[in-house]
A and B are shown apart, each in its own frame.
Chain A
Amino acid sequence: MKIPYRFAAAVLVVTSAPAHAGNRLMPAGTPAQIAGTPLSVTPPIDWNRLGLRPGKFAETWTLDGDRLNKVVFFSGVPAGSPLFREIDRKNRPLPTVSAAMLATDIPVLLESSYRIVMDTALFQVDAMAPTSVGGHDGLRFSYSYTRQNDELRRKGEGRAALVGGKLYMMLYEAPALHFYDRNVEDFHKLADTVKF
């Protein structure tokens, strides 16, 4: 009976290793470059960067695990590129960044992408307002959505700007119940440190 358990444990270690291999502590006070681009933030508290990146120009940070709270950075997404990694390019291709986008198009792009990637029709943008992102004109917006597989309503807040035809965006997301309010200020403090 011992052999199968050992074998199972070995399989677990081997299969789970790649997902966690790139996870890294982002220590407080140390500036961090985002996705190898000129965009950087200086976290006021310790955050964790996940090894698994949702897109070519994106990376995810979290405090307690990405299902409980996460910040997703999109840094310098050029025209013609989607926000996320394609899930079914042939039948369900993702919308892409366009050079002709206005600030009002950014939440629309996020909504359409989420509806495809998360496979949900329950997504809505709740509010939009102008703001400065690292010294550039941009917008902040809030949204909420529910995924089919967990039925949990999640709230999100984003800050985004188009700089030189490329999209820069930070999203904070957490379950509407308890977790969103608990850490939204941590996101604000982190997002306020953004520099190009």
Chain B
Amino acid sequence: MKRALLALAMALGLPGVGHAETFTLPPFTQAYEPQGVDERGAWMTADEQERLLRSSKFVIRDDGLNHYVRGVFCRTVGKDRCANVRIYVMRMPEFNATMYPNGMMTIWSGLLLRVQSEAELGAVLGHEFGHFEKRHGVFGFKNKRTMSDVMAWIGVAAPQSAGFQYSLLGQVYAFNREQEREADMIGVQYLAASDYPSSAAARVWRRLMAEQDASASARGRKAKHGYAAGYFASHPSELSRATTLEAAAVRYGDEGDEGRAAYAQALKDWLPEFLGDQIKRNDFGGSDFILSQLASDGWSGPLLFARAELYSQRGNPRDYVTAAQFYAQAIEKGYAAPKALRGLGLAQLRTQQTEQGKASLRQYLQQSPDASDASLISSLIGN
């Protein structure tokens, strides 16, 4: 309904939709074929990459998860557009998503761990689809080729012109940043036209900045969040993206259900896996921040277990005390996996609670007698 109203308002040029007046999507054809030698080449390369990706061990082949992500995508961009895109969910713990010229999209598990609602996921999916719809891949390639040609000829004609060539190189990155800004705006416009609220888009970047702060702080550094991007930055700064997206959301003033509960439910089975990947990245501050964000509605058993593992891995003497408490709380909350008893026992052994530690490990072995580390744990408790 919201999509129809926005389309009508855009068609009539109503002032209430502000920026929407300048937002005109190119005609969308279901079976678009690449035009010209450059675009055909880009698609051919992407087709080959997709053939390799389809058999990659890093692709998560869970029908339920894939179906859910596609559903969010379709609700964001609309059924006609979503049909043309293939989404691959990748087991990669970083915050990232990629779009290829031929309509292949990858969503990384680290992104799924960090967004907290369907609307936030839709914001990223819409952004990526914007790259496809605006054919950024081929235009970016053409821009790079033109600039490198010009730089080569200038190098021949005027060898002392390094400063000018440096300036041209900067233009390549600036062009890329401009494409990212355009995709950001398309993404937020899709959200505004969907049942999801466009205000969710900026929150993704705000939270990412806060995670960077937490990560840097735990490493004794200070994260820098400038408004302007670096000269060779491929993307605008997170701060400028958040600010621009917030302003756009205010202009649209749309509302809707973000789908927080549905998102948490859909990710429930994968959450322990993705948290495990994150904790093993040796980023205490960032991981603890992500956990605290996920626990905004309360600490569940799996979240407490993950936090216990995080503290245990940092490995300061005081961390084992904290870890033992979190393991115990996870068990109290009904977290039934034997590995919680294992973690508890190993933490207790290192915090002068030798007898309690041995008791916990004995319990672990009773629950999991065929564990792959049973003989090692037995040797630790002197069995």
Chain A positions within 8 Å of B, measured between CB atoms, are 90, 92-95, 98, 100-105, 108, 111-112, 115-116, 121-122, 125-130, 137, 139, 146, 148, 151, 153
Contact = CB atoms under 8 A, between A and B. Distances in A.
A111 B313 CA distance: 11
Nearest to A146: B57
Contact of A127 (B93, B320, B372): B372
B313 A102 contact: no
A103 B379 CA distance: 10
Contact of A102 (B55, B92, B349, B375): B349
A135 to B, nearest CB: 16
B254 interface: no
A138 to B, nearest CB: 10
Nearest to A115: B280
B380 A104 contact: yes
A186 B142 CA distance: 54
B40 interface: no
A129 B376 CA distance: 5
B350 interface: yes
B372 A112 contact: no
Contacts of B56: 151
Contacts of A115: 93, 277, 280-281
10 contacts: A94-B282, A100-B317, A104-B346, A104-B373, A112-B282, A115-B280, A115-B281, A121-B58, A125-B372, A151-B55
Contacts of A94: 282
Contacts of B194: none
A67 to B, nearest CB: 17
Given A102-B349, A103-B376, A103-B380, A121 B93 contact: yes
A130 B376 contact: yes
Contacts of B376: 103-104, 128-130, 139
Interface string B271-306: 000000100111100000000000000000000000
